Structure formats: C-alpha cells, structure tokens
Structure 1
C-alpha cells in the first residue's frame, strides 16, 4: 500500500517552479541591475514611445545636493519618483525621468575652505578660477557616488546624461534667466536687513536656515526721556540681542495698551535701580519687569497713568548718550512713536528699534521715508563691529569657530558691561528660545542690513506674458490656484500663504562657487538712478556665448570686463558685479535647461510633476515658482506632490548625535532594495513616516507572504498551455468571481497610481493576494489543480491563474522592481523585461456585480460552515476538513442561492455536504451576524482516497485501487 501511495503522489499536478522561497535580494538584485543596464531598458522605452502614440509624462527631478552619502530621506524621495515614473509608463504614458544635481553653493565651497584651513591656507590667496575648479571636482566626485547609490535602489532614469547645474550649458542658461530679470526691470539693488551668516560671511535664504534652541542674553535697558513733564524718567526696553543696542535709533510703543509711570521706593543690596528712579512700563508687564530687577512688590509703586497721547510727544536719549570717549556716537535723540508690531505679551511694552537689524523696524521707517536717518553700518561681514566704533570696535557677535558647541563672541558681554557701567541696565538674564541657524555651519545667524540684489515681486514685469498676471507675486498666486494640482491639497495652502506674505527675493550671495550675477553698474551712480544698471543685449549675448563654451568661470578670468563690455563702453565707467546668485535661483532655473532645452525634456517646457519633501514649499517649489513666474509668466509645473519627513521607530527626528539614523545602504545590504521600496509603498508618505528594525521586519513579513502567493502561482502554471485557455462564460462561477475581482482591482490600481496613492494600491493588491487568493481561491482550487485531469475546471483555474499572473506581476512592478522582474523571467524569455510592458487591458465583461453580490452571500454561509468545522478541529474530533460531511440548514431565501451541493462542498473544502432548507435544529452551530444558517456536524462516509484524500463512498470501486471516481478518471 505504501508503494501505491508513492505512485499516486507522482501522478499529482503538484506545483513545480525554480522560483525560490527565499528571495536572497541583497545578493541577487545587482545582477538584475546589470541586466537592465545591458538591455538599456530606459532607452528601449523611449524608442517604444516613438513607434506608439503615447502622451508624454515628465517628472522633473528636484536636484539633491552633490555633497555626502544618501540618507533615508533621499531614498524615500527617489523611490517615490521611480514609482511615479514606472507606473505612468505602464499605464501608457511616455514617462521620462532625467535625474539631476545641485552643484553650486556654500556647502561645497565650505568643504573646500575647511580643507584649506586644515592646511593653514588662505582661500582668498588662491586664484578664484582655480578655487572654483576644486569645487567643481568635489561636486563631480559626489555626483558619481550618489548616482550609484540611487541606481542601487532600483531607480530608473537617464543616468548616463543627468542634468548638473555646473554644466557649462546649465550655467549659461542660469545666467540667461537672470538676465531676463535684469532686462525687464525687476532686478534692483537695495539695502535691507537680511539673514546673514557671520561665520560663512554671506546672506542666506529662508530655505538655508533651520531652527534650534539657543540660550541668549536678555537685558532690560533704560532710555531716558529727554524733555517735558516726564523728563528724567526711563522708558524700559527688553531685548535678547544686546549687540544691537549700539545700533539703536528709536523706541516704539503700542497705542492700544495701558502704560503707567512707576517709582522705585526701596532697593535691595544688588540692584541696578535707584530709590526715586521712575520708569515707564506697560501696566500688564510692570510687575514682571520689577521682579526681573530683583525688586519686591513693596519696593515700587505706580504713580499715574501715561496715556498714548502723552507718549506721542516724547523723545528719548540713548543709554550711552553723552558717555565719555563716546565721540558723540549716541548723542542724537532717539525717535519715539507708536507701531503696530508692539505687543504686551512679553517684555516691557516698548520695543527698541535697530532698523539695520530688524525687518519690522526697517519697514516702519521705510514707509515713513526715514531710512536715511536710522540705517547704520556698524556690523561687518564677519559679524564684528566696525573698528572705529567707540568701546566695541572689533568685538565679534559670534566666534569664527565654535568652542565646545558655543558660538558666543565677545560683543554681547562688552555691550552689557558698558551699559551697566553707565547705569543703563535695569536687569539682565538668559532665555532659551528657538533661534535661526545656518543649516550648513550650524552657527547662529543675525539680521544685518547689507546692499544686496533683489527681484521685485510686486513690480509689473512688462514682458507681455500676462495670462496669470503682471507681477511675479500675482502670477505665482494665480498659478497656484489655476494651473497646479496639489497632492495633498494642504501643500497649496502652505505655498500660497508663503508667497502671499513673502518680501522681495534676495538673489545675491557673497561667495565664489556659483553662477555670478552677470551685470554691470555705472560707476558713481546710485541704485535709484535710471542708468545704474547696464542693460545691453549685445553685452548679455557676449556673456552667454562665453558661458556656453567656458562655463561661468569666464566671468572671473582676467580681462573679463573688457571682453564683455567690448568697444561700446568705456570700461572704467562700469563696475563688474562679483556676487553669485542664490543657489535656489540655480535650482529654480533647472526647468529651463532641462525641460525646455533637452530633446527628452517637455514639449511645452512644463513638468507634469514636481515631487519633494514638505520643506521645499520654502525651497525648490518656492524658488521655481518665483523664477518661472519671472521669466515665463507662470509656474514651471502642473502638479506638486509632497512627502513628509522620515522619523525613527519612536517618532523622533533622526540625528547622528542621538544615534538613531538609518542609512539606506545598510537596509539594502540586510534586506534588499525591494524591502525598502515596499516600506515606501506601505507608508502614508504625505505625512511624516517612521522606520526602524521592527517596522522593517514587518515589511519583510508582508513581502514573504506576497512572494509565497506568487510562487504558488508560478508553480501551478508550469504546465499551462495557453491554447487550452477557457473562455470566461464557460468557467465555473468561482473562476468568474476571481475575474470579476480582478476587473474591480484593475480600476483601483489604475486610479491609485494616477493619484500617486501607492499605499492604497499596495494595500488593495496585498489584501486581494492574501485574502481572496491565498486564503480563499488557492485553498479551494488546489484540490482541482493537483488532482483533476485535463478537466475544464482545472483548465479554467489555470486560465485564471494566467490572468492573475499577468496583472499582479505588472501592477507590482513599479513597487517591487526587482522581484517582479524575477517573477516575469520565470515564464518569459531572457530577452524581455517586465519593465518593457504595460499593464494589460482587463475586459470590461469580466465585471459581474450580480455574481459578486451572490458570491458574498455564499461566502457568508461558508463562514458559518468553516466556523463549525474549526470548533470540531479544536476539539480534536477531526484533523482535516475533508473528514467532515456537515449538514447546512438554510432559510428559503438562501437555499435559492446555494443550489449545487458539490460546488458548495468544494468551497467549504469538505468531502461531502448536505444542504437542507428549513430551520436548523437545536444545538446547530450558528453565527450571530449570519442569519438563516445553521450547521450540524457529521463525519464523512466512505474510505479515504489515497490520491486526493477525500473521504467518499465510491473509493475502492474503480479500476485503480484505493481512489475515488474523479482520481480514477485522471489516472486513466
């Protein structure tokens, strides 16, 4: 008998496949990468598009910075982009992806300077062209490194010809785009407070700043009233930037607040107030101010109200007014007036104004037409006071290099010491608050008034491209609402509010590695003079011609001014601007030399999609919007997709100092790139997402379950002959149901990919594969697949498996790039790739909602049956459901649906089943949520078939010993 069993086992159609259960992705993925490179899959897709009618789809790559290895945020971003491009391609588009890099700017320049400092060299002593070449070489090296790291993640694109902002043509176009601002009159030179890094000695954009907690000095300073009834009393201000006091030009108050005159009646031993000294304070804040001055409640008193009308007539003395050896620096009276930005939430109710170091104060006096009277130039590029300033000359706000993490210079201490010496301090302390820092040097920044170049965003551009408005701001706001689709929609609100409130765009930086502001100014002219800027198309053309051949280095070569001005101008009459452009202008211009100029760019110069993190609302989305609106009259993109930040498993921001960073390379080495890609597909990337060891283990488990499903399909399809495929109408209802579900899922997948909802796509496919297939369809049909002969039922099941294979493999290819190639190659030739095909069309007639509704009823009844069998299995009455022959009692309505006993037995995976109409007897198994169904357990009658293991009465009555009639037919 044992020999017979072995013989029968060999007659089964058991799954056969070389597809391994264990993926071995880390070792095997590089082979697929090499295969795709050899096949040149990306170019084959472009060739395919030329022979077909395909609408183009262009995702314009936001350039990562060519500086350092990839972090997990890079991986998330590039994998998302790859999923977008692959899915669009497989849905019938000509989906192009040209990767790019940002190569200019301070981070790279800073690295080269660090190298110089380590060698004791002076950067300024090195020829600027030679220095720029070192920066170029540094960036080029990192481009090569990052390119290989991105490719290892399975990202497909034009890797052999990326765009680089430092390519000569790119530098030429960036200069050309700048010249459009010059020629349309939106460029101007102005002087206003900008975010300034004393350590890096350059202005910074908002996108180059990050906020960290910082401990600052806080001081309460006395400004004496100069005249009138309140003469001699002191207005008290509070500031956390003592270094700005020498640049004070005014004090302002809020005319809607209640102010009072207060007198000190007694003092403790250590106090900077004198008995009889009188102070003007906001009533709401007075008690807190006196507490900071170490005065008890019984040591001061309120003398009287001071209405705003009385304040309006006052002028003040600077605390250093008349100080010995002050050279009259602070002897002018200080302006005193009401201002809207004053609050009584903290401080004193009065705000000290140094308009050279604060934007609100600057705007107040600009609007009053008083800037010439209040602007100072006391702070130098390196954050030191000008050398000739009394008491403080040469003192630095920040150190040149941090000492044990401390950047504090000697300026604040010197100012506080002098104020205390002359009786100008009332109190001092420290405060911990969120403060802007340079994200490169990590040093605090300051606000400093410097001459800079700006793009006026409210001035009419005057270029005739007025579809979306006449000014940059108007064009941007209308583009946001009328041109761009936002995913998620909250991205629209964020950028709209930023554009709505933003000041003019600061274009200039005081550095060397970048594209220069290619313009000339009239020597001796004022920025407000009409002829201050040279606007000459011939000069511009000579610059652009040189840049195309030599790159932006041409601007720095000896004789450049004479070369570009030519013989049309006296060279001594003009100054050559040596500032470089904000690196965000570079990246904001990438659409011009990538989408517009490249053959594989975009037909209309617009990208279908920009895809970056939420920080790019103030970065690349923002600068590209401003740049495009300034040069093209509208945004350079039709769609914006935004993702959140990646946090650790506990929801904390990743930090090297904490030690919770996760490097993509390590994930790839341990699990494989497909596991990282699957993690991306499983998270809601529109919000912040988490990653860690436990999360990745869960992702790997999902992958394993899906891989087993695919492996089962491959094994079962090993002997499928497509010529014997069964038509849908000739299939059993179970197969028709699976085709219906495929048709529904086809719509879900396509709609999900179109909306970039990768999480929704994968969830739908995974639930279908694990619940509808592995746990239901495969479980039911493995009997027919293994044991049937060449029956229509088995052929129908194989036909459905073939349809499943074609769709699951392609639908998952944008996500599990490597694994689906492996699955594809198991059944297709070596000269093809899953990434060269489209999603297959799914016939509309597969959809049968009536059948689906009927099947839902059948499955609910089946659930009662399987529940009854599980109860018996738990009680160890049976080991397998094939030992059972339950009787199922159905209501009259349900009995009309379930009419075929044999089919229902197959669905319930029992050897026999009895269907009875009517009420179930007492003790029958029921489920509360399924009405009209009761199950009475019974054991199968007959013998166990030695081939299919069903227990049936006819076993042993056929020509083949020990088998049932179905198996006997198969053997015959």
Structure 2
C-alpha cells in the first residue's frame, strides 16, 4: 500500500462479538446451572399448555457411591431425549429417581458393624433400617449434584425414592395384588444363594467371572440288578422289554453288580447331598475293565466301569490309564441301565451313621449330554434346578430334597464327616468343604480321578463372591398361573401378557432388544420374590400357623387387612411392619391374630424398581394418565434387570407392559476396547472429564457415539471430541460476530435472495426434517453427524467463505449483506435449537450472547418451524454441480499457493474449461469469482489443454491458472483493472461506492 493510501480497515464491517474462542467450560458451566435453577427452567416448561406429554421414566440408579462413566452415558442420553422431545413441541417430563433398598446399602452398614466387632443381628431391626435410610439419603444428595453437573434437566427438587413412605406403601400394595390374584406361593426349590451375603439372589444380581474349581470323577457302585420299577420306565417301554431283561437277569446281574457308574462334577461339596444319578437314554454306553494300573492310580486291576463310549477314553486318561491298560467288555443298553440300583460312595462308611446307605435313584433324563464328563450326571436336587425339576415332575421331591447346607454356606453340624465345613469363607474365598469331601472320597475308595478346571461361574455383583444353588423355602410369583383379574386382553398369565406386550405393544431401540427379552421371558422360571435381609419392603403377608403351603387358607387373603397395611405404611413407612404389636393392630377384629404368623423376608429390590410405574407414573401429578411411560432407557444388562422385572410386575398388576418404548445402550470401555476396572487403572470418571474439558465435551462424546454398541472413551477420544467441539464453536462464533446489531428491518424475503443463499435455506429445510426424524428415532449420532457436516462443510468451508466478502466489504445496507445476515439469523435459530439438547451449556452461551436477559434461555424455546417452500431440489442439483466444479478450481489454486506462485486466491484469474454445456451455463449464471474467491474467472466450453489441472473424481472440468491483472484493492484485496481510478485512493468500484 502506498504511503498516501488510507488504511481502510476501520471502514470494514468486521465481526463483533464477545463470544470467546476458548470456551472455558469447566469454570463457566456451573454458573449456567445456577442460572437455570434460579429462573426455574424445568418448571417454566411445564407451564406451556396444550402440549402432548412425553414421559421418559427414569430407571433408578442405586444410591451407593459416586457416579461412573456408565451413569454419565445413561443420564446424558436420557437428557438429550427429554430436551429434544420438549423442543419438538411436547411436554417432556423427567422425574429422576433412586433405588434405595437392598443388599449393597445393607452390606455397607454391616461392614461398619464388623469393623467395630459388632454383630448386626444383635441390633434392633428398626434401628438398623434407619441407618440404611440415612446412608441412602447421603448418597442421593451426592449423586443428584453429580447428575446435575452433567447438565441433566429434571424435577430434581422432587425426585422419586423407593424408600419414601408412599413408595413403600405402593410397593406393598402391588405385592399384595400378587397375593390376591393367586400368583404368590411359597415353595422350596434351588435358588441362587450368596453364602457371603446370606440371601437368595435374582439372575439380574449375578455376574459371571472365571473361577478355578475342583473337578472330580466319582464311583457309584452298581449295588443290584433287578427288573426296573414301573416309575422308571416310560410308556413306550413295554412288557417285551421287561421280559428281555428278565430272560438274562442272572447273567447280567453277575456282569454288572460291583461295576462302577462314574459321574463327573465341578462341585464336590454337593456329593453329600446326592440322591440320584441320571443318564441319557439315546447315548451309547459300554462296560469297561481295567487291565493294569500305574502307580498313584485310584483304579484297580479288574475293576469295571460303565461310561458313555464317547467319553470313556478321556475319563481313563484323567485316571492316568493309557489305552493299553483298559478294554471295552460289552455294550450297556438303556434297558440294562434302567435295571440297575446304585450305592452312594459313602454308603456304609465307618462313622456315616447310615446317612448315605439308601440306594440312589438311577434313571434317564433329558438334560444329560455326552459333550463332557462321563455321560452320567449326579443329582443333588437341592442344589441344581434341572435335577429339581426332574424330580418335581416325577412327584418325588420328598424323597430327594436335603437340607444339608446352611445360609452361610456351611454344612449342618449333624452331617457326618462334614458338619460345620464351609463351601466359602466369610470373605468369599474357597472354604474347606470341597477338600473335606474329596479327602473322604479318597479314603473310602470312591474317587477315580480329580483335577481343576477354569470356567465361567456365577458371582454376586455386590460382594463379588461366588454363589451356589441352594434349596430354601422362598416366595415365588407363578408366571404361568392363570389370573382371574379381568385384565386378560393380552393373555391370561404373566408370561403370556409379557410376550404379547413385547411383540405388539412396545417399540424397541435397537430392534435386537425385542429378541433378547422375548427369549428370556419365554424360558424364565417363576420369579423368586423373597430375600432374607432387613433393608427393604417386607413381604406383607400372613400365613396360618402349623399349616402347609399347599393347604387351603395357608395365606391370609383379606382386602381389609391389605388396606390397613397400606394405610400404616403411608403414615410410617415399611418400618412399622417390624414394630411390636403391628400384627395385632392390622389383623385386629378381622381375624384371630394368634392363628397367623408375619412373614419377615423382604422383597427382591427388582420388585421395588419394577413397581415404580405405579407410584411414579400412576400416582404423581407429573406422571401419565394411564400409568404407562413413552420410554424406558437403560443399558443392555437391564433386559434381565429393570426392563424384565418391570414387565413381569406390571403384567401381574396392570395386565400389560408399563412402557411403549424401550431403548438400550451398550457398556463403556476404555480406548482399547477393554472393560473398565479400578485395578486396571483404565477407568474414566465423569468428574475428571468435567474438570478437564467440561460436561459439554462428555455430552458431545455421547452424541458422536453409536450407543447401541459398546462405547469407547479415553484421553485420545476426548481430545478428538474437543477438536470437533472447537470447530462447531468457531462456526457459531462467526454467526454471532456477523449478526451484531441485526434488526428485523434488514430482513430480506427468501424470494429476493440470490441462489447461493436460497441453496443454504434449502439445506436448512432438508436438515430440519432430518433432525426432527432423528430426534424422534433417538438417533443422536445421525443428527449430530448431519448438523456437524453442514456447519463445518456447507457453512464454514463454503457459504461463510464466499459471503465474507459481502459481509465485510459491502455497504451496511447493501442487499447481498442484508441477505447474508438474514440467512445467518435463520442459521442461528436452527443451529442453537438443533444442538441445544446435546450441547446444553454452549448453546445457552450462544443464545445469551444475542439475547441477554434474566428470563432468556434457549431451553425455553422450540425448534422453529421451517417452511417446506424453502426446499428447491432443482436448485440443489444445480449447486451440486457448481460445488463440484468449485472443488477443482480451489484445488488448482491450492497447487499454485503451495508452489508459492500466489499468496492468496484473489491473485488468480483462472480459466475453467467445462465439457458439459449445462454445467458451463450454470457456472456463468452465478458470480463464479465470488464463489471461488478469485478476483476474476472465466468459463469456456473449449477443450481443456493438456496442462489444465484436473481432479480424477470430477470429470469434464479442467482449470488453467492465470494471474489477475490490475491493482490490489486496499479495502477488499481483489485485484481488478479499475483499482485506483476512483475517488477513494486504492479502491475498486464496489469499495469506492461503499465509502460514499
């Protein structure tokens, strides 16, 4: 610039904004939280009338410990759904809640007692329960603040708690509906039992980890061979079979008596409870003889063994016998097996006191396989569900059920040899029971082989200790009991209603969720409702003294009694159940209290959370008229947890599922795809992310991810997320800076806009449809990807790049500048509302930069309606061609800039050779120099010379570089021939006019 040429920078309409480049989210976000609370955003949204409700029912997290990254994923997803549905015009309600009862809290209080050397069982139960309540209250306050810090909106002032008095009253009331409709019964069957926690567990409370277990091969001697009893023969086994066996009875008795049927088990501690052995009727079995033995072998020369042929070789190998040391003697038919009687290996052992002297039952069973083991399965029906069901169906439970294992996993004191031995120690480690059983089997000659195996084994997800199957009296809800409750529209049983609901009443996101839950419900057993704990809602029922569970009148069924229980719980919570005189108070003059006993087991906490639809959706003013939620949203593990229990519970009390939609998300993993673990040091705490990056970065990570799969997170992923955030922030900063002082009088009608600007509005209309459909489908990844590409590619890289010249250099009232600012205003309102459900803090910051005020908030507005008339497919097609040609031109100029031929694209005056006449016409119809940010540009249909620049992916366009002729305008920097010929020195015609 010549010395006498003025500095025109002050004459430009440069962006003006206080919106900072650096977000400073960790420090600034808490201020917006305070502001939202002060102006009551959530309550003000509820004041909007005439809106269709949308209710996402919150699955209650457990009030125990700080939040982990899975909590953050879950709550942020819920929040994005609630906010987006609100901004789509619904009344989107969100009542957060907490699961407060149950073992994790009780365990913490017990730990406190153990640390002081106190016995929890010596503490008055109501005092103990009050300590549990206080513990939960403390963590609710902590977690509430941590959830709010993530930008989650909701009725935080009035959440639901399963330990509120009304909630406890309703849980009891819902339980008593099972009592009254006939689905409740007391039974004794094997359930998953935690010896460490001394309680039954539900499948949802169990997780599987690798465990090393003892494995043993045990001998059951054939004690006798006779015609099989009728009850051990199927209908197909005719008298001909009996005759066939009888004809060779003496011969086969001599052959088989004294032989050993070999079983294999990974639970040696169940051998003292053995009552039977079963085989597979369809498998091939053989009689084998030992010919010779090596040292240190528990088999003896001449011993005979009966094994499945497919498994014989590997069984002898485990017994340390090679192939030369045994031989197959003969077949063993299923008819012959059915004629055998077996002796327990401990039968007749000195000191056994006759405990195991009865012959063991021996029969065929469908659950036997020949894939591993020996082809025979030892049955302890008190400790295995398949064995239990077999003998239940045979009507033989009274003959096979034992009560050898106590609630702490120890053998009953009176059990010979093993009394007091423990399966597990109190700390969850291996006890002395397995070793004691193995040693005794070795002593009596009952063992063929032993070893160890590593396998997947159930553990309590709370104590992390292994669990066992143990036969105990428990309370169950029968899922196949026909209900006469007048709610049979979707089926007559809980299972039928649940399966119908899954298929016909619920929308699944993703669709695979339907199959997973359907298969679980289809195959599940009756629901174990009882737990042997103290902190929870008791099973509010009374049983007749000295009556059997099968007796008529065993359960007291009285609407009046039930109503009194509910009324008492409403006033004093579930603690009143444990007050002296409670039974007499509620039974009163209705029945003779002396004839009944109170049940003091507590309900499975999944029944608590499964009942939330009743005391949250049904009973609260901000619930739903029909007590049904539009959406339940949790992790995939809740197919066997909350989705499952809620479905069963509601099908028993409402006749259908309590939800219309179910969304499931994956688990959080580290950057390498590994499960997060404190011991591995690869956990990511939400608190750490918000302190370093801000909650909006965490929310952006959630929106960028495919939540239907497992999600990875770590430092590098968060850095990439932060980079995407900066790009979006810069787009919004450009809009804000160039809208400074915008007034309605500037607005230009769409029909008066140039094509470029109308093309942008076409894209806005396209995106508005995508965003709305995406939000309705909960596809935040799809929405964000489209909006991000629009903001960074269509806007920042194209539209803003082109329109900078008009915005900065045109006169303030110039048409093109007014058009651009009109478009920017439209973009502002769309981008802020499209992104507000995701980037809650940043969009509020952007909004307040334009519309400051005590009551102003982007979260109080809806996504604006976008006119369908903005859609212009013909224009979009034309501009798709122009943009393809522009890519070739800008790439050609980038080569010249890289080679330092030019410093900026405005120094160029390229010639564009276009083969397609239609495209050439389109390029000539627009100000292509402005579109490509050059000073001059020419378009020709002449063939491209060989030196023309081309892009392989854009056929028919070649660019020949030429430099622009003339002088550089000192205001807009274009190089034009007329620069220097106007009133204002060093300016072009446009800039001279702009200066006046």
- Alignment pair present for 1:214 and 2:237: no
Structure 1 residues 577-586 or 875-884, which shifts more?
Answer: 875-884
Note if 1:186 corresponds to 2:209: no
What is the number of equivalent residue pairs in this alignment?
965
Cα distance between partner residues in 2 of 1:149 and 1:295: 63
Match runs of 1:23-38 below 5 Å: 23-38=23-38
The aligned runs of 1:388-787 (5 Å cut-off) are: 388-402=414-428, 407-787=429-809
Match of 1:971 in 2: 995
Distance in 2, matches of 1:238 and 1:316, equals 15
Deviation at 1:899, TM superposition (A): 5.2
Work out whether residues 882 and 919 of structure 2, in 8 Å CA contact, stay in contact via their aligned partners in 1: no
Deviation at 1:933, TM superposition (A): 2.1
Q: CA deviation digits over 1:234-281, x for unaligned, max 9?
A: 000000000100000000001111111111111111111111110000
Match of 1:112 among 103, 109, 114: 109
- Of 945, 950, 961, which aligns to 1:926? 950
Distance change in 2, residues 1:204/1:956 (3 Å): same
Residues 777, 513 of structure 1: alpha-carbon distance in 2 compared, 3 angstrom cutoff: same
Work out whether residues 61 and 97 of structure 1, in 8 Å CA contact, stay in contact via their aligned partners in 2: yes
1:604 CA displacement: 1.3
Pick aligned residue for 1:201 from 167, 184, 198? 198
Give the 3-state SS of the residue equivalent to 1:511 in structure 2.
coil
- Deviation of the 1:571 alpha carbon: 1.8
Match of 2:970 among 946, 955, 961: 946
Given that 2:920 and 2:939 are in contact with CA atoms closer than 8 Å, whether structure 1 keeps it comes out as no
Work out whether residues 278 and 365 of structure 2, in 8 Å CA contact, stay in contact via their aligned partners in 1.
yes
Whole-Å Cα distance in 2 between the matches of residues 892 and 667 of structure 1?
Answer: 53
Report the Cα distance in structure 1 between the residues aligned to 2:87 and 2:290, rounded to whole angstroms.
80
1:226 touches 1:316 (CA, 8 Å); kept in 2?
yes
Structure 2 residue 79 is matched with structure 1 residue 82: yes
Give the structure 2 partner of residue 867 of structure 1: 891
Change (3 A) 1:808 1:971: same
CA distance in 2, matches of 1:552, 1:103: 13
1:386 paired with 2:412, answer: yes
**Paired residue secondary structure (2:589):** helix
Provide the C-alpha distance between the structure 2 equivalents of 1:819 and 1:3, rounded to a whole number of angstroms: 45
- The residue number in structure 1 matching 2:297 is 271
**Superposition pairs of residues 749-828 of structure 1, within 5 angstroms:** 749-789=771-811, 790-828=813-851
Q: Specify which of 308, 315, 318 is matched with residue 282 of structure 1.
A: 308
State the Cα distance separating 1:956 from its structure 2 match: 0.6
Q: Report the Cα offset of residue 867 of structure 1.
A: 2.1
2:882–2:923 Cα contact (<8 Å) kept: no
* CA distance in 1 between partners of 2:346 and 2:184 (Å): 40
SS at the partner of 1:272? Answer: coil
> After the TM superposition, which residues 236-385 of structure 1 pair with which residues of structure 2 at under 5 Å, given as runs?
236-385=262-411
Residue 462 of structure 1: how far off its partner (Å): 1.1
1:635-689 Cα offsets, whole Å, 9 max, x none, are 0000000000000010000011111111000000000000000000000011001
Query: Distance between the aligned counterparts of 1:208 and 1:868, measured in 2?
Result: 64
Mapped to 1, the partners of 2:954 and 2:140 lie a distance apart of 62
1:56 to 33, 53, 57: 53
3-state SS of the aligned residue for 1:284? helix
Instruction: Look up the match of 1:9.
Output: 9
CA contact (8 A) 2:774 2:782 kept: yes
Does structure 2 conserve the Cα–Cα contact (< 8 Å) formed by 1:901 and 1:915?
no
Taking the aligned partners of 1:6 and 1:90, their CA distance within structure 2 comes to: 51
Distance 1:29 1:479 in 2: 42
How does 1:220-235 map onto structure 2 within 5 Å?
220-228=217-225, 229=253, 230-235=256-261
Q: How does 1:875-954 map to 2 (within 5 A)?
A: 875-891=899-915, 893-894=917-918, 897-898=921-922, 900=924, 903-954=927-978
Q: In the aligned structure 1, how far is the partner of 2:892 from the partner of 2:176?
A: 80
Residues 5 and 740 from structure 1, CA distance in 2 versus in 1: closer, same or farther, beyond 3 angstroms? Answer: farther
Q: Deviations over 1:808-855 (max 9, x none)?
A: 001000000000000000111322100000000111111100000011
**Unaligned ranges ≥5, structure 2:** 226-252
SS in 2 for 1:301: strand
| Shift in CA distance, 934/372, structure 1 to aligned 2, threshold 3 Å | same
- Does residue 70 of structure 1 match 2:73? no
Give the deviation of 1:135 after TM superposition: 0.2
Q: State the Cα distance separating 1:863 from its structure 2 match.
A: 1.6
Aligned alpha-carbon RMSD (Å): 1.0
Post-superposition shift, 1:3? 6.8
Tell me by how many angstroms 1:923 deviates. 2.0
Preserved CA contact (<8 Å) 2:495 2:521: yes
Query: More deviation in 79-88 or 285-294?
Result: 285-294
CA gap 1:804/1:319 in 2 versus in 1, 3 angstroms: same
Determine if contact 2:920/2:941 at 8 Å carries over to the other structure.
no
| Contact 1:788–1:966, Cα closer than 8 Å, also in 2 | yes
- Inter-CA distance 682–6: structure 2 relative to 1 (3 Å threshold): farther
Give, in angstroms, the shift of residue 900 of structure 1. 3.3
Alignment pair present for 1:133 and 2:130? yes
Going from structure 1 to structure 2, the CA distance change for 1:892 and 1:758 (only over 3 Å counts) comes to: closer
Cα displacement (A) at 1:461: 1.5
Q: After superposition, what is the alpha-carbon deviation per residue over 1:687-719, rounded to whole angstroms, capped at 9, x for unaligned?
A: 001000000000000001110110011001003
1-side partners of 2:5 and 2:570: how far apart?
A: 80
Distance 2:469 2:880 in 1: 67
Structure 1 residues 6 and 538, CA gap change in structure 2 (3 angstroms): farther
